[in-house]
Amino acid sequence: MSMFCYQCQEAAKGTGCTVRGVCGKTSDVANLQDLLIYTLKGISIYNLEAKKAGVNNERADKFVMESLFATITNANFSNQDFTNRVKEALEIREEIKTQLKNENVNLEADLHDSALWYDDTREGFEAKAREIGILSTENEDVRSLRELMIYGVKGMAAYAEHAFVLSHKKQEIFDFMQKALVATTKDDLSVDELVALTMETGKYGVEVMAMLDEANTSTYGNPEITKVNIGVRNNPAILVSGHDLKDFEQLLEQTKGTGVDVYTHSEMLPANYYPAFKKYDHFVGNYGNAWWKQDKEFESFNGPILMTTNCLVPPKASYKDRVYTTGVVGFDGLKHIEGKDGAKDFTEIIELAKKCDAPQEIEKGEIVGGFAHNAVLGLADKVVEAVKTGAIKKFVVMAGCDGRMNSRNYYTDFAEQLPQDSVILTAGCAKYRYNKLNLGDIGGIPRVLDAGQCNDSYSLAVIALKLKEVFGLEDVNELPIAYNIAWYEQKAVIVLLALLHLGVKNIHLGPTLPAFLSPNVANVLVENFGIAGITDVETDIEKMVL
Ligand code: FSO
Ligand code: SF4
CB 267 within 8 A of CB 428: yes
Mean pLDDT (whole number) for 389-415: 98
Residue 97 pLDDT: 93
Mean pLDDT (whole number) for 364-393: 96
pLDDT value at 436 more than 90: yes
489-519 as b/e, with b when 16 or more CB fall inside 10 Å?
bbbbbbbbbbbbbbebeebbbbbebbbbbbe
Burial environment of residue 123 by CB neighbours within 10 A (0 to 12, 13 to 18, 19 or more): exposed
User: For residue 516, which of 39, 154, 127, 238 has the smallest C-alpha distance?
Assistant: 154
**What is the 7 CA–ligand 2 centroid distance (Å)?**
6
Pocket of ligand 1 contains residue 428 by CB under 6 Å? yes
pLDDT value at 108 more than 80: no
DSSP type of residue 406: G
Going by pLDDT thresholds of 50, 70 and 90, the confidence category of residue 279 is very high
DSSP type of residue 316: P
Residue 70 lies in a domain: yes
Compute the distance between CA of residue 446 and CA of residue 428 in angstroms, rounded to an integer: 18
Give the ligand whose atoms come closest to the C-alpha of residue 310. Answer: 1
Mean pLDDT (whole number) for 232-248: 98
pLDDT value at 266 more than 80: yes
Q: Side chain identity at 132, as an amino acid letter?
A: I
pLDDT value at 115 more than 70: yes
Pocket test for ligand 2, best of 73, 512, 516 (most atoms within 8 A of CB): 73
Per-residue H/E/C for 33-46: HHHHHHHHHHHHHH
Centre a 10 Å sphere on the Cβ of residue 419 and count the other Cβ atoms it contains. Answer: 11
Compute the distance between CA of residue 35 and CA of residue 37 in angstroms, rounded to an integer: 5
Q: How far is CA 71 from CA 6, 149, 191, 270, in A?
A: 13, 14, 26, 24
My answer on whether 81 and 144 are in the same domain is: yes
Residue 51 lies in a domain: yes
Pocket of ligand 1 contains residue 457 by CB under 6 Å? no
Going by pLDDT thresholds of 50, 70 and 90, the confidence category of residue 107 is confident
My answer on whether 431 and 285 are in the same domain is: no
Pocket of ligand 1 contains residue 266 by CB under 6 Å? yes
**What is the 21 CA–ligand 2 centroid distance (Å)?**
5
Give the ligand whose atoms come closest to the C-alpha of residue 312. Answer: 1
Q: How far is CA 230 from CA 73, 176, 227, 451, in A?
A: 27, 40, 9, 18
Q: Side chain identity at 178, as an amino acid letter?
A: Q
Pocket of ligand 1 contains residue 264 by CB under 6 Å? no
Mean pLDDT (whole number) for 43-53: 95
**Of the residues 336, 354, 372, which one is the last residue of a structural domain?**
354
Q: Taking each helix axis from N to C terminus, what angle separates 245-255 and 191-220, rounded to the nearest 10 degrees?
A: 20
Residue 474 lies in a domain: yes
CB 354 within 8 A of CB 258: yes
My answer on whether 536 and 425 are in the same domain is: yes
- Give the list of residues 6+ apart from residue 318 with CB closer than 8 angstroms, or none: 299
- Give the list of residues 6+ apart from residue 22 with CB closer than 8 angstroms, or none: 10, 11, 12
Give the ligand whose atoms come closest to the C-alpha of residue 26. Answer: 2
Helix (H) or strand (E) holding 286: strand 283-286
Tell me how many domains the chain contains: 3
Residue 106 pLDDT: 81
Q: Side chain identity at 401, as an amino acid letter?
A: C
With a pLDDT cut of 70, the percent of the chain lying above it is 100
My answer on whether 419 and 523 are in the same domain is: yes
Pocket of ligand 1 contains residue 451 by CB under 6 Å? no
Pocket of ligand 1 contains residue 488 by CB under 6 Å? yes
Q: Whose CA is nearest to atom 2 of ligand 1?
A: 311
Mean pLDDT (whole number) for 504-524: 97
Pocket of ligand 1 contains residue 544 by CB under 6 Å? no
Residue 56 pLDDT: 85
Domain of 318, CATH number, reads 3.40.50.2030
My answer on whether 320 and 433 are in the same domain is: no
CB 6 within 8 A of CB 15: yes
Residue 509 pLDDT: 98
My answer on whether 314 and 256 are in the same domain is: yes
My answer on whether 428 and 481 are in the same domain is: yes
Residue 398 lies in a domain: yes
Residue 322 pLDDT: 98
Atom of ligand 2 nearest to the CA of 20: 6
Going by pLDDT thresholds of 50, 70 and 90, the confidence category of residue 487 is very high
Pocket of ligand 1 contains residue 491 by CB under 6 Å? yes
Pocket test for ligand 2, best of 5, 26, 31, 292 (most atoms within 8 A of CB): 5
- Give the list of residues 6+ apart from residue 118 with CB closer than 8 angstroms, or none: 90, 94
Pocket of ligand 1 contains residue 494 by CB under 6 Å? no
**What is the 102 CA–ligand 1 centroid distance (Å)?**
43
Residue 170 lies in a domain: yes
My answer on whether 214 and 295 are in the same domain is: no
In the chain the first and final C-alpha atoms are separated, in Å, by 46
My answer on whether 236 and 158 are in the same domain is: no
Is the pTM here over 0.95, yes or no? yes
Q: Report CA torsion sign: 481, 487, 492, 493.
A: positive
My answer on whether 74 and 191 are in the same domain is: yes
Compute the distance between CA of residue 280 and CA of residue 284 in angstroms, rounded to an integer: 9
CB 326 within 8 A of CB 241: no
User: For residue 467, which of 496, 425, 497 has the smallest C-alpha distance?
Assistant: 425
Average pLDDT, the chain: 97
**What is the 22 CA–ligand 2 centroid distance (Å)?**
6
Centre a 10 Å sphere on the Cβ of residue 428 and count the other Cβ atoms it contains. Answer: 30
CB 262 within 8 A of CB 236: no
Pocket of ligand 2 contains residue 405 by CB under 6 Å? no
Residue 15 pLDDT: 98
Pairing of strands 261-264, 226-229: unpaired
Residue 495 lies in a domain: yes
pLDDT value at 109 more than 80: no
Atom of ligand 1 nearest to the CA of 243: 3
My answer on whether 253 and 290 are in the same domain is: yes
Pocket of ligand 1 contains residue 408 by CB under 6 Å? no
Residue 152 pLDDT: 98
Pocket of ligand 1 contains residue 304 by CB under 6 Å? no
Compute the distance between CA of residue 38 and CA of residue 185 in angstroms, rounded to an integer: 9
DSSP type of residue 135: G
Residue 159 pLDDT: 98
Residues 192-226 pLDDT 10s = 999 999 999 999 999 999 999 999 999 999 999 99
**Of the residues 320, 354, 388, which one is the last residue of a structural domain?**
354
3-class state of residue 344 by DSSP: strand
Compute the distance between CA of residue 358 and CA of residue 235 in angstroms, rounded to an integer: 5
User: For residue 308, which of 325, 323, 283, 288 has the smallest C-alpha distance?
Assistant: 325
CB 127 within 8 A of CB 133: no
Compute the distance between CA of residue 530 and CA of residue 260 in angstroms, rounded to an integer: 50
Residues 158-177 pLDDT 10s = 999 999 999 999 999 999 99
Pocket of ligand 1 contains residue 456 by CB under 6 Å? no
**Of the residues 218, 246, 276, which one is the last residue of a structural domain?**
218
Atom of ligand 2 nearest to the CA of 515: 8
In terms of residue numbers, what domain contains 443? Answer: 380-544
Burial environment of residue 420 by CB neighbours within 10 A (0 to 12, 13 to 18, 19 or more): exposed
Give the ligand whose atoms come closest to the C-alpha of residue 405. Answer: 2
My answer on whether 162 and 132 are in the same domain is: yes
Residue 366 lies in a domain: no
Mean pLDDT (whole number) for 246-251: 98
For residue 239, the cross-strand partners are 263, 305
User: For residue 454, which of 400, 410, 404, 503 has the smallest C-alpha distance?
Assistant: 400
Residue 361 lies in a domain: no
DSSP type of residue 257: T
Pocket of ligand 2 contains residue 8 by CB under 6 Å? yes
Domain of 78, CATH number, reads 1.20.1270.20
Give the ligand whose atoms come closest to the C-alpha of residue 514. Answer: 2
Compute the distance between CA of residue 220 and CA of residue 449 in angstroms, rounded to an integer: 20
Give the ligand whose atoms come closest to the C-alpha of residue 452. Answer: 1
Pocket of ligand 1 contains residue 267 by CB under 6 Å? yes
User: For residue 414, which of 404, 429, 424, 428 has the smallest C-alpha distance?
Assistant: 424
Backbone phi and psi for residue 481, each to the nearest 5 degrees, phi listed first: -125, 130
